[in-house]
Amino acid sequence: GKLFSYTLEAGAQLTDLSLTWFLKIPLSADTSKKPMMVKCNLPLTRQADPRPIMVTIWDGLLDRNASLDKDNQELNEIRSTLQRQRDQALSQFSSLVADKKALEKDMYVKFSLVLNEKKKKIRELKEECMLHAFASVLFVL
């Protein structure tokens, strides 16, 4: 249901007004538990000159608006800073990924060269062994 409701009640005389409001305050996220109920009553009186009260209300609203504007500006500055940091981090990450790929490619090329040289050396040694073995068989005969 509603978390907040109010009523404006007139008394016996037109000058007798009362503002009553009800608050439902959930004590936990568990909806099976009953919330705390608060009822407040504020008697209202008619003012001969409501201007000072209206000035106070408007001043409060303007001060709150200025405070919220300042908070909003600070939050926007923080957001901009965080976005710049994120963009820098993404750029650095992309650069590191590209460097890693280039390094891997270079390592594979070098590894291929070393591996091919080793294979060539093994073939040469096998041929040499075969020649020695063949020569020793011929020498025995």
The DSSP bridge partners found for residue 20 are 7, 41
17-31 core/surface letters (b: 16 or more CB in 10 A; e: else) = eeeeeeeeeeeeeee
Cα torsion for 133, 134, 140, 141, to the nearest 10°? 160
Contact 33, 10 (CB under 8 A): no
Cross-strand pairs, 9: 18
**Which pLDDT score, from 0 to 100, does residue 50 have?**
86
Position 1 scores a pLDDT of 62
- Distance in angstroms (rounded) separating the CA atoms of residues 132 and 134: 5
For residue 11, give both structure tokens: 């008394």
CA pair distance 112, 116, nearest whole angstrom? 6
For the chain, residues with pLDDT lower than 70 are 1, 14, 138-141
What is residue 4's three-state secondary structure?
strand
Q: What is the pTM of this model?
A: 0.51
Give the closest residue to 7 by CA, choosing from 36, 34, 37, 44: 44
Look at residue 118 in the predicted model and tell me its pLDDT.
97
